[in-house]
Amino acid sequence: MDQISLVDRRIDDGQKLILQLARDGFDVTAAFWLKPSEDNWWNLYIASKAVDGNGPAMGYRALQKSQQQLIGTTISLADIKLIGASNPITRDVVKIQRRYSGSAPIRFGGARLGNVSVEEALIYPRLPREKRTPLTLGKRKLKTVVEQTSGLDEMLAPLSPQESRVEQLIVASGISPSQADYWIRKKREEERRRPPIPAGTIVDAEVVAWWGNTPKDDRNPLLRVVAPDGAQGLTFLENTEPV
């Protein structure tokens, strides 16, 4: 993915993620794509009171749960930066949002947000929040294997000595540090894929997405399943059966 230009698909996927976070009850004070003046790398910034109250680690865990519900998204955890609602960047973005009443993203550039010199930014309008209670199905038996989702703690862990050496090589070639970090963590994700959850496993299941106005409108909704050993994955209802 060419990070120098921000394409419509990634803008749309960012909005879908923000809406999903709101549905899951995660505070989104502001959200925006930002490209600093000294870097050609776009990042999706999500500002939240949860970061101020609980720290970024818990925020990323909640973020990953919401992100996993968006099948086929072009946005990875490496693209996202969580910041607090009290961050100076957030305060400036909120001021811009308050001056704007439209429904389309706001283009901004050539100035500063907080203490960051900005080449270009795209700010999402403030979105209405809605909360929902997960529809728990209880115990289900897997009829097919289910691929595990990536572990957030592994993805956010500090770089290993070998990864740090690779990062230095990438930066020495002229690539920015943020791009280098992105590709190293993408490599880590590929190398640390977890074994699938076997067919026949008894799991705890809940509905996380459906096609229609309510879960009852979809005969085959998307489920999050959790195995007894803590392994998690996503699958459809038809791939499970009652215990």
pLDDT tens, residue by residue, 105-125:
888 877 889 988 888 899 998
Q: Is 224 exposed, middle or buried (0-12, 13-18, 19+ CB in 10 A)?
A: buried
94 against 127, higher pLDDT:
94
Q: Is 44 exposed, middle or buried (0-12, 13-18, 19+ CB in 10 A)?
A: buried
- The domain made up of 135-150+195-242 is a member of CATH 1.10.3470: no
Express each pLDDT in 189-211 by its tens digit: 777 777 889 999 999 999 988 87
State yes or no: pLDDT of 2 exceeds 60.
no
Tell me, what DSSP letter sits at residue 238?
A: G
Give the separation between CA 8 and CA 74, rounded to whole angstroms: 11
The domain spans of the chain are 8-123, 135-150+195-242, 152-191
State yes or no: pLDDT of 129 exceeds 50.
no
The predicted structure's pLDDT at residue 23? 82
Dihedral, CA of residue 91, residue 95, residue 96 and residue 99, to nearest 10: 170
**Bridge partner residues of 233 (DSSP):** 148, 225
What is the rounded average pLDDT for all residues in the chain? Answer: 85
The count of C-alpha atoms lying within 13 angstroms of the C-alpha of 35, restricted to the half-sphere facing its C-beta, is 17
Instruction: Provide Rg for the chain, Cα atoms.
Output: 19
Average confidence (pLDDT) over 33-43: 87
Lowest mean pLDDT among 18-27, 127-136, 140-149: 127-136
96 against 39, higher pLDDT:
96
Give the separation between CA 169 and CA 152, rounded to whole angstroms: 26
Candidate ranges 98-102, 120-124, 149-153, 186-190; pick with highest mean pLDDT: 120-124
At position 114, the amino acid (one-letter code) is G
Phi, psi of 222 (to 5 degrees): -85, 135
Average confidence (pLDDT) over 172-200: 83
Q: What pTM did the predictor assign?
A: 0.54
At position 82, the amino acid (one-letter code) is L
Phi, psi of 212 (to 5 degrees): 130, -175
Spell out a b/e string for 162-184, using b for 16 or more CB atoms within 10 Å of the CB, else e: ebeebbeebeeeebbebbbbbeb
Question: How many other β-carbons are positioned within 10 Å of the β-carbon of residue 202?
Answer: 13
Using 50, 70 and 90 to split pLDDT, how confident is the model at 5?
A: low
Question: How many other β-carbons are positioned within 10 Å of the β-carbon of residue 132?
Answer: 10
The three-class DSSP label of residue 202 is strand
